[in-house]
């Protein structure tokens, strides 16, 4: 089912309180700019944003965000020492548990709501059991402390089953990919409502320098263009020195032609009913013949 409403903007405006949003990208298009747009949208709603940063530094993540609200972005640095090799790591992969994350979230007031951003789930999936990660996400989503969880996932770096397991928990999955020429970026959105109904949409969008998202509509169909291309192709038989087609007279002559392996009724009758003078081979076994019904090939030296 495709909706006429703009699902991407509805998601950015916070219509999915209590949900898990997965942004799926690939090497062809990065979803981090859209992730930043979600952070900016949460700041515009005066929410507190906690970021578990594994892939980029705090400075790079905050670059481009609303400076007037940047103090409400709390970056938990898992980029500097993600595996805890130093004596005083800030945040490590081993702290990706419900208790440790809840402790981090309780350090800040969240009167207007709290958004948890995971940048990225791919890094965590490469070091922890996917089952454990799914359990943690499920507990955080149901715990009530977090209004929305947003995770970036590089889908082309994982097996299909792993991606499917994580996305199955999500209330919304947004797959971003480069669109057709001069049509921006394509977002394929799958949303699961509280009643279990699945809603889908495909939209063209662009992101401005201030991380504002603009939706330009649905992708234009390419079928008509492909049909036009097929029709304008040259005929490959046009310049041959011989003719591949039969004229009407030649076609009629071909239909009247009797093929050598097709028997007429008279010929079939002559072959099936032997007339006088036709020969027959009659075999009468003598006493020296040793024929065994159960083993007809007994006389062969095999």
If phi > 0 it is left, if psi is from -120 to 50 it is alpha, else beta; for residue 138 that is alpha
* Number of Cβ atoms within 10 Å of the Cβ of 57: 13
Residue 196 has what pLDDT? 79
**Total number of residues shown for the chain:** 302
Which two structure tokens, joined as six digits, stand for 158?
């994982």
Confidence tier at 51 by pLDDT (50, 70, 90): very high
Owner of token pair 């009167």:
111
Cis peptide before 120 (omega within 30 of 0): yes
Mean pLDDT of 36-42: 95
Higher pLDDT, 191 or 256: 191
Residue 231 has what pLDDT? 43
Higher pLDDT, 256 or 198: 198
The mean pLDDT of the chain is 83
Residue 29 carries which DSSP code? B
Mean pLDDT of 269-290: 63
If phi > 0 it is left, if psi is from -120 to 50 it is alpha, else beta; for residue 30 that is beta
Q: Residue 211: pLDDT above 80? A: yes
CA distance 152 to 133: 14
Which two structure tokens, joined as six digits, stand for 117?
């951003």
Mean pLDDT of 206-229: 73
Mean pLDDT of 6-15: 83
Mean pLDDT of 284-296: 61
pTM value?
0.71
CB 34 within 8 A of CB 102: no
Strand 114-119 to 48-53 pairing:
parallel
CB 19 within 8 A of CB 31: no
CB 25 within 8 A of CB 153: yes
Which region among 143-147, 178-182, 242-246 has the lowest average model confidence (pLDDT)?
Answer: 242-246
Beta bridge mates, 198: 192
SS3 116: strand
Q: Does domain 7-220 have CATH number 3.40.50.300?
A: yes
Confidence tier at 277 by pLDDT (50, 70, 90): low
Beta bridge mates, 200: 2, 190
- pLDDT for 122-136, tens place per residue? 999 999 999 999 999
Beta bridge mates, 217: 204
Residue 262 has what pLDDT? 65
Confidence tier at 6 by pLDDT (50, 70, 90): confident
In this structure, the dihedral spanned by the alpha carbons of residues 10, 11, 14 and 19, taken in order and rounded to 10 degrees, is 140
CB 96 within 8 A of CB 137: no
- pLDDT for 147-186, tens place per residue? 899 999 999 999 999 999 999 999 999 999 998 776 789 9
Owner of token pair 């790591």:
89
CA distance 68 to 297: 99
């Amino acid at each position: 089912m495709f909706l006429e409403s703009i699902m991407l903007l509805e998601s950015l405006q916070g219509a999915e309180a209590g949900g898990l949003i997965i942004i799926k990208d690939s090497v062809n298009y990065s979803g981090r700019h859209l992730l930043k747009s979600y952070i900016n949208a949460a700041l515009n709603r005066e929410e507190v944003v906690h970021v578990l940063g594994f892939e980029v530094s705090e400075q790079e993540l905050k670059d481009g965000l609303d400076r007037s609200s940047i103090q409400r972005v709390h970056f938990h640095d898992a980029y500097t020492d993600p595996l805890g090799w130093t004596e005083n790591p800030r945040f490590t992969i081993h702290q990706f548990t419900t208790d440790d994350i809840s402790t981090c979230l309780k350090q800040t007031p969240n009167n207007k709501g709290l958004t948890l951003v995971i940048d990225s789930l791919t890094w965590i999936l490469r070091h922890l059991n996917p089952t454990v990660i799914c359990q943690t996400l499920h507990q955080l989503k149901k715990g009530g402390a977090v209004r929305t969880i947003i995770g970036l996932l590089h889908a082309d770096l994982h097996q299909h089953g792993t991606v499917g397991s994580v996305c199955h928990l999500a209330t919304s999955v947004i797959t971003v990919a480069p669109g057709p020429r001069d049509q921006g970026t394509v977002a394929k959105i799958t949303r699961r409502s509280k009643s279990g109904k699945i809603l889908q949409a495909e939209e063209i969008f662009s992101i401005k320098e201030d991380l504002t998202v603009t939706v330009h509509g649905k992708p234009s169909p390419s079928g008509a263009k492909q049909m036009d291309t097929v029709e304008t192709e040259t005929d490959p038989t046009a310049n041959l020195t011989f003719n591949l087609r039969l004229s009407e007279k030649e076609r009629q002559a071909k239909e009247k032609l009797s093929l050598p392996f097709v028997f007429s009724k008279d010929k079939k009758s002559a072959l099936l009913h032997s007339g006088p003078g036709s020969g027959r081979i009659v075999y009468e076994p003598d006493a020296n013949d040793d024929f065994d019904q159960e083993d007809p090939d007994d006389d062969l030296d095999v």
